[in-house]
Amino acid sequence: MPRFRQAVWDEPLLKEMSRQGRVGMLAPSDPKVMAKTKDPALFVPANMRRDSLDLPELSELQVLRHFNRLSQMNYSVELGMYPLGSCTMKYNPKVSELIASSDTVKQAHPLQPPETVQGLLSILYELERYLSEITGMSRFSLSTAAGAQGELAGVLMVRKYLREHGGSKKDEIIVPDSAHGTNPASAAMAGFRVVKVPSDSTGQVRASAVKELCSEKTAGMMFTVPNTLGLFESEVSEVCDAVHSVGGLMYYDGANMNALLGKARPGDMGFDVVHLNLHKTFATPHGGGGPGAGPVGVTKKLEEYLPVPVIALKRGAYTLDYGLDHTIGQLKGFVGNSAVLLRAYVYIRLLGASGLNNVSSLAVLAANYLWKSLDPEAFPVTHGKGLRRKHEAVVSVKSELPGAAMTMAKAILDYGMHSPTVYFPLIVHEALMIEPTESEPVEVLDDYARALNEIYRSMKAGSLGEVPKNTSVGKVDEVKASHPMTLRVHW
Ligand SMILES: *Cc1c(COP(=O)(O)O)cnc(C)c1O
């Protein structure tokens, strides 16, 4: 079983390794400069020099080893699989990193006049066309910086559109019980009352259940397809019809488009507003809070409500258009997180239409393969038995012990593997939500399933003990770790 070497937490600090007079800096060796002086400190302009500075004194190799050790304490998708369901942590092609970090991109200033950044704007303009084509929407605003912000933009557009079209009494948004927590939060932030619709035993929302909740108060519904159980909603078109028939609008949570790329389009299913998480579906490293991009797209009738700016092509030149007639306003500075947008553009261009279609096929194949490799007695599904999964599978850890899913999540760290998402969606008891993505070879999926099965057997036999054992930090008190947050170093 692969175990990657973990650095030990009690490595000395730089300060503790410091020895007076030890030097790690190599002075410039330009002979012309060296001829003038022997003291490298004199290369620093006089007004920036200090007499003393209390820094650790170390050799270059000590510093190098210290930071390399620290970097190895982090887990990343470049060390192993990162199968966080719903969060889609996929491999990011190095070429997109290279392009996104090129000087022309890095040095572009957000306040530069558009005529000096025509190249970048033309790329963003094209990206907008690609996203529209992929989703079946008419237009996108790229500025919103996360899925949650795209959602807020989306429901604010719904609110404004309805108010301007005689629907100001409409104040309810329907949200399924399997939805991501940001859905009800966004709807509530936009001033709507959230009405919950239950999933049935197949893990899907029935059109009849939605119809029962629809009234003249219905402003719309936020719907995730495939849903967070990884299941395609087979009555999606009927659900759209039901909400439309009372004058509501349909919102598509497209954070995870990984099963639908090139296969099906929310626009064709009947949705009016869509957000995408470029930092999930379209590569881009994420985690630790960002940065991300959650562009929001709409059908023709909502185009003028998009958040500004949008990228426009006027008389052969690309510009930032702030002048949409009914815009909900500006939610984020400038064009958005341009480096994230650029990576998504490269990802799309690298793969092309048929490549994107293949991504979906492989993501679905990998999710179903991994799911089928798990012991069905240990990890039963609670919803939609017999149905094939899409990009992810949610299983329940069968155990009398409380916190069994958390124990699994901690124990797999000892194998040098990242945990799946746990305890989401909320409707599944002791949930493990596993999303391998399209990039993992079959041997990695085999190893992962074997590890989960093995841990389960140990847990059942009572021989697991305290986990994790091999990590640099043991089991942390998660409440205490974040509240109150105190970062402190003693020496
Ligand atoms: C991740 C996710 C979101 C929220 O996206 P953020 O970028 O984290 O704000 C919304 N819905 C679903 C289904 C998600 O997986």
Phi, psi angle pair for 147, to nearest 5°: -60, -45
Q: How far is the CA of 400 from the centre of ligand 1 (A)?
A: 31
Atom 8 of ligand 1: nearest residue by CA position: 147
Is 292 close to ligand 1, i.e. is its CB under 6 Å away? yes
The highest-level CATH class for domain 95-350 is: alpha beta
Task: Give the pLDDT confidence score for residue 4 in this predicted structure.
Answer: 45
Q: Hey, where are the domains in the chain?
A: 14-72, 95-350
Q: What is the pLDDT of residues 433-442, one digit of tens each?
A: 999 999 999 9
Distance 34 CA to ligand 1 centre (A): 56
Q: Indicate whether residue 392 lines ligand 1 (CB < 6 A).
A: no
**Which residue's alpha carbon is at the smallest distance from atom 14 of ligand 1?**
255
Those residues with Cβ within 8 angstroms of residue 288's Cβ, 6 or more apart along the chain or in another chain: none
Whole-angstrom distance, CA of residue 233 vs CA of residue 206: 9
119, two tokens = 């190249």
The pLDDT, as a whole number, for residue 2 is: 43
User: Counting atoms of ligand 1 from 1, which one is nearest the CA of 292?
Assistant: 7
Select from 144, 151, 258, 277 the residue to mutate for testing ligand 1; criterion: most ligand atoms less than 8 Å from CB.
277
Give the pTM: 0.89
Residue type, 101: S
Q: Which segments of the chain have a pLDDT < 70?
A: 1-10, 26-43, 288-290, 481, 485, 490-491
Sign of torsion over alpha carbons 186, 190, 194, 199: negative
Burial class (CB in 10 A: 0-12, 13-18, 19+), 308: middle
Q: Closest Cα to atom 5, ligand 1: which residue?
A: 147
Whose C-alpha lies nearest to ligand 1, atom 3?
147
Q: What is the pLDDT of residue 474?
A: 82
Q: What pLDDT, on the 0 to 100 scale, is given for residue 477? A: 80
The 10 Å Cβ neighbour count of residue 113 is: 8
pLDDT at 52: 81
What amino acid is encoded at 491 in this protein? W
Report CA(288)–ligand 1 centroid distance (Å).
14
Task: Kindly give the number of the ligand 1 atom that is closest to the alpha carbon of 146.
Answer: 7
pLDDT score of 3: 47
136 CB within 6 A, ligand 1:
no
Pocket flag, ligand 1, residue 296 (CB < 6 Å): no
Q: How many CB atoms lie within 10 A of CB 380?
A: 13
